[in-house]
Amino acid sequence: MSKYPALDIDFVREQFPGLQQGWVLFDNAGGTQILSRSVERMNEFLFNMNVQTGGSYELSLKAAAAMQAGREAMMQFVNAARPEEIAFAASTTVALQNLARSMQSQIEPGDEIIVTVSDHESNIGPWVGLEDAGATIKTWLIDKHTLELNLDDLAALMTDRTKLVAVTYVSNILGTINPIADIARVVHDHEAKICVDAVAFAPHRAIDVAALDVDFLAFSLYKVFGPHHAVLYGKYDLFAELDNLYHYFYGKDKVPAKLEPGNASYELSYSTTGIVDYFAELATRAGATGSLRNKIEFAFEQITRHENELAERLLGYLRKRDDCRVIGFDHGDDPRRVPTVSFVIDGQDAGAIAKKIDAYKIAVRFGDFHARRLVEYLDIAANGGCLRVSMTHYNTLGEVDALIAALDEVLPT
């Protein structure tokens, strides 16, 4: 018997008021539902301490403490060494644009930056923008047969001029988990830095920046059961080296505030404490003990078991269809994937299929999902791109069965 009890799905669904709309929500890679407790934390801040930080008066001190609580929550969530290694931003796109801009003075003509063809544009475009500073951009391609990144290919791209490698933890189309710790070792062996887009990973598995030994990592909180807000993690010493993006009198050592021009949203940052509190309660209800970090990891183990069942139910159906091509690993219990499932149906327009599914009050998505370079590289841009069913732990097997029944009705037999 597993030490990780089955997920209490009734309790889980009670935490998300947005699930009560009569829709089956399978567009979670685009954005998850928000926890009621995160909304409550936002209201708590706005109603009780909605003042500027930095003052000596009591309410200002409370506001500062709330902001710090948000950093400490995300420190625990990613297993960072200190809360100053957490910077907030409006989105991952903004976080990575800020990071690239703050690294510009470190780039000299001829320095190299490696991006992958499989990333969301958020972790490609900002680095391509450094060409104006003299950077040379190289692209790490995936194997078209296995649809995986090959470490030997990365090693062949790296030289003594390589400054940074930007890579996704999970492709938001393939659903494939990349071996980030192994990639980081190759990068560091060449004395370069690594920046990881963890957006498509963060809702499904526990992030451990210490074990991964990554230099920078970003993810969006609105895809991890929170508000439209994002986290940028960076090793403290590396954050300290970055250029100041704020007022001129913010020194380079003013970490992480110098990376949050105009200040990050106080109420959204504070609401992240509700996310961590939720994962801790999930684990505690299942019998977990120990530190907050241990409970976060325990909760994600429960979530993984549940999500694997969801993914396999759908993928088992898709594997039986002769007209279906799954883009990525086609077994739900494969440890190399998360329950983000993309596929194409021979000769069928993805958009037309999605719109037919709408009538069943089931939300799926079609297109390139801002990973256009990957869709074009795999030659699946025609016919509306691919269909994507992105599940998360608050979904149920019954919802997957409803989608399968709908697909049976709208797809040719």
Q: What is the DSSP letter of 116?
A: E
Longest dimension (CA), the chain: 70
Strand ordering across the sheet containing 230-234: 86-89, 230-234, 216-220, 193-197, 162-168, 112-116, 136-140
Cβ neighbours around 163 below 10 Å, total: 20
Q: What is the DSSP string of 294-363?
A: HHHHHHHHHHHHHHHHHHHHHHHHHHT-TTEEESS---TT-TTB-SEEEEEETT--HHHHHHHHHTTTEE
Span 2-22, average pLDDT: 94
Please report the beta strands in 191-280, taking only residues with DSSP state E, as ranges in sequence order. 193-197, 216-220, 230-234
Rounded alpha-carbon distances, angstroms, from residue 3 to 9, 279, 305, 328: 17, 17, 12, 30
Split at pLDDT 50, 70, 90, the class of 245 is: very high
Least confident of 129-138, 163-172, 249-258, 363-372: 249-258
Q: Which domains does the chain have, with CATH numbers?
A: 9-33+294-407 (3.90.1150.10), 38-275 (3.40.640.10)
Residue 390 banded pLDDT, cuts 50, 70, 90: very high
The mean per-residue pLDDT over the stretch 310-323 comes to: 98
> Judging by DSSP bridges, how do beta strands 340-345 and 324-326 pair with one another?
antiparallel
Helix (H, G, I), strand (E, B) or coil at 38: helix
- Token pair recorded at residue 1: 């018997």
The answer to whether residue 316 scores a pLDDT higher than 70 is yes
Average pLDDT, integer, range 400-404: 98
125 has a pLDDT exceeding 80: yes
pLDDT at 412: 86
Cis amide bond preceding 256, omega within 30: yes
Closest CA to 369 of 396, 387, 352: 387
* 340-345 vs 386-390, strand pairing mode: antiparallel
Q: pLDDT, tens digit, for every residue of 197-236?
A: 999 999 999 999 999 999 999 999 999 999 999 999 999 9
At 263-277, the pLDDT tens digits run: 999 999 999 999 999
* Closest C-alpha to 385, from 364, 401, 400, 399: 364
DSSP letters for 62-97: HHHHHHHHHHHHHHHHHT-SSGGGEEEESSHHHHHH
Q: Is 213 helix (H, G, I), strand (E, B) or coil?
A: coil
Q: How many CB atoms lie within 10 A of CB 121?
A: 18
pLDDT at site 3: 82
> Is the Cβ–Cβ distance between 363 and 23 less than 8 Å?
yes
d(CA 197, CA 168): 5
pLDDT value, residue 90: 97
- Give the per-residue pLDDT at 1: 47
Q: What pLDDT shows up at residue 253? A: 86
CB of 271 within 8 A of CB of 72? no
- Could you give the 3-state DSSP secondary structure of residue 260? coil
- The arithmetic mean of pLDDT across residues 70-96, rounded, is 98
pLDDT at 4: 86
